[in-house]
Amino acid sequence: MFSILKTIVYLLKLFSIMKTLQRKKYLERIRPFVKKPLIKVLTGQRRVGKSFLLQSIAEDLLDKDVQEIFIDKENFEFDEIQNYKQLNQYISSKINSSKVAILIDEVQEIEEFEKSLRNFYKKPGFDIYITGSNANLLSGELASLIGGRYVEFEIFPLDFREFLELNALDSTEENLNKYMQFGGMAGLSLLPDDSRVKREYLQNILNSIVYKDIIKRNQIRNVAFLENLISFIAGNVGSQFSSKKISDYLKSQKIKISINTVMDYLKFMADAFIIRKVKRIDIKGKKVFEIGEKYYFEDLGLRNLLAGFSADDISKVYENLVYNHLKSNGFDVKTGALGRKEIDFIAEKEGETYYFQVTFLLSNNQTIEREFGNLLLIDDNYPKYVIAKDVLPSINTYKGIRQLSLLQFLENF
């Protein structure tokens, strides 16, 4: 009994804190579309806070005279809504106003939900919001039935600033290390400060994503290989992938499976938002390469659960963190190539372009020359940055290229 009461207290605490946080950057993006004839679609990995954001929309953005019909498919209360006919019947039975907001959490759990949405979308006075944990939510039937009459918002785990705000922490190296180790899942805030408990929580999230959003949804039979592949990606975040690299991996595991199947599995993982595929472009020719893409984990806590959190991998963690932060804050991100030279990230937002090189330490001249030298090869006037653990006063700015500590980057971008 105590454990149940304790869980309830934790949940109430989390809701209260999340209500204060509100995830303002998302609410501000959504606000202009409230009451507009567009279906608002919130997509993202499970447990990143889509449900709380949906509740915040209902409480903070909608007018008080609007009737709200809220359906949470992760709540057993709505288990009977399995398909679009049952969804249609349920919503119709609840309508008692000329102004209605329909809010559906994890809508992909309802078979052919898009048919019901089209039905209500066409009626005057209806405002529709849905969330889903699969990137294909807007593909296929939904896209064909409602055309361009929707707007999508990608929801990410807490960025570092949100993590600090939610937990009432200062921006310090110690708190940055906590964030890098356990990631940005908001639910961690309701747990004791115990590494074992946090890992168990993250393991439950990982299991839910893998089995509900990947295995079950895509009817995967070779579960053992999928699990091995996820762990392989976790240990190789930021590495270029090619047919040869995948083939070498298969040979090392003595697994007989086609490269096409591996690519399908990678797509399923990306569709479930457990990883992100990042395209690679030729900076001079602006050509997008068909091979050599990179993968990063959506949440560092899940990545570290699989690959460990050690000094040997800290450069990979830094790179993954910089990518996540840029994406979470509205940047379109790619990796770049200049001949045989690599540029870690090309980030674009509101017509501006930024270049980033990421390393753990600028510990010797060879590293300094590589990180700054690669950026100096780019012949344009867009801002260029080298991100490392600490700023070296002697090279705070080098030929127009600015160095930032990781903390400075997370605080200011």
pLDDT tens for residues 44-84? 999 999 999 999 999 989 999 999 999 999 889 999 999 99
Helix 223-235 and helix 259-271, axial crossing angle in degrees, nearest 10: 70
Mean pLDDT of the chain: 90
Of 63, 123, 132, nearest in space to 91 by CA: 123
In eight-state DSSP terms, residue 312 is: G
Of 386, 413, 40, 14, nearest in space to 186 by CA: 14
Of 87, 122, 154, the domain-final residue:
154
Q: Is 212 left (phi over 0), alpha (psi -120 to 50) or beta?
A: alpha
Find the CATH number of the domain harbouring 94.
3.40.50.300
Question: Residue 3 falls within a domain, yes or no?
Answer: no
- Same domain for 51 and 144, yes or no, is yes
- Same domain for 270 and 391, yes or no, is yes
- Same domain for 128 and 223, yes or no, is no
In eight-state DSSP terms, residue 155 is: -
* Structural contact between residues 322 and 409, judged by C-beta atoms closer than 8 angstroms: yes
Supply the Cα-derived Rg of the chain in whole angstroms.
23
Beta strands 280-282 and 332-338 are: parallel
Question: Residue 52 falls within a domain, yes or no?
Answer: yes
> How many structural domains does the chain have?
2
- Same domain for 138 and 224, yes or no, is no
Of 76, 67, 18, nearest in space to 47 by CA: 18
Range of the domain at 88: 34-154
- Same domain for 139 and 218, yes or no, is no
In this prediction, residues 238-261 reach a mean pLDDT of: 83
pLDDT band at 398 (very low <50, low <70, confident <90, very high): confident
Instruction: State how far the alpha carbon of 194 is from the alpha carbons of 121, 169, 182, 191, 301, in Å.
Output: 47, 17, 11, 8, 14
Helix 195-208 and helix 300-307, axial crossing angle in degrees, nearest 10: 100
pTM: 0.91
Question: Residue 407 falls within a domain, yes or no?
Answer: yes
- Same domain for 139 and 241, yes or no, is no
So what's the pLDDT on residue 255?
82
- Same domain for 148 and 226, yes or no, is no
Pairwise CA distance, residues 346 & 271, whole Å:
23
- Same domain for 274 and 363, yes or no, is yes
Pairwise CA distance, residues 122 & 247, whole Å:
50
Which residues, at least 6 apart from 63, have a Cβ–Cβ distance to it below 8 Å? 35, 99
Grouping H, G, I as helix, E, B as strand and the rest as coil, residue 307 is helix
Question: Residue 114 falls within a domain, yes or no?
Answer: yes
- Same domain for 119 and 210, yes or no, is no
- Same domain for 227 and 353, yes or no, is yes
Question: Residue 27 falls within a domain, yes or no?
Answer: no
Tell me, rounded to whole angstroms, the distance of Cα 67 from its chain centroid: 31
Residue ranges in 64-188 assigned as alpha helix (H): 84-94, 113-121, 141-146, 160-167, 173-182
Pairwise CA distance, residues 113 & 239, whole Å:
38
Question: Residue 140 falls within a domain, yes or no?
Answer: yes
Residue-by-residue DSSP string for 219-288:
T-S-HHHHHHHHHHHHHTTT----HHHHHHHHHHHT----HHHHHHHHHHHHHTTSEEEE-EEETTT-PB
- Same domain for 132 and 220, yes or no, is no
Exposed (0-12), middle (13-18) or buried (19+): which is 240, by Cβ within 10 Å? middle
Question: 298-357: per-residue pLDDT in tens?
Answer: 999 999 999 999 988 999 999 999 999 999 999 999 999 988 899 999 999 999 999 999
- Same domain for 292 and 388, yes or no, is yes
In this prediction, residues 205-227 reach a mean pLDDT of: 94
pLDDT beyond 80 at 202: yes
Question: Residue 5 falls within a domain, yes or no?
Answer: no
Question: Residue 11 falls within a domain, yes or no?
Answer: no
Residue-by-residue DSSP string for 186-230:
GGGGGS-S-HHHHHHHHHHHHHHIIIIIIIIHHT-S-HHHHHHHH
Pairwise CA distance, residues 196 & 206, whole Å:
15
Of 154, 187, 218, the domain-final residue:
154
- Residue 23 tokens read as 């995830």
Question: 367-396: per-residue pLDDT in tens?
Answer: 888 899 999 999 899 999 999 998 877 677
Q: For residue 411, what is the enclosing H or E element?
A: helix 406-412
Residue 128 phi, psi dihedral angles, 5° rounding? -115, 135
Question: 134-180: per-residue pLDDT in tens?
Answer: 888 877 656 677 777 889 999 999 999 999 999 999 999 999 999 99
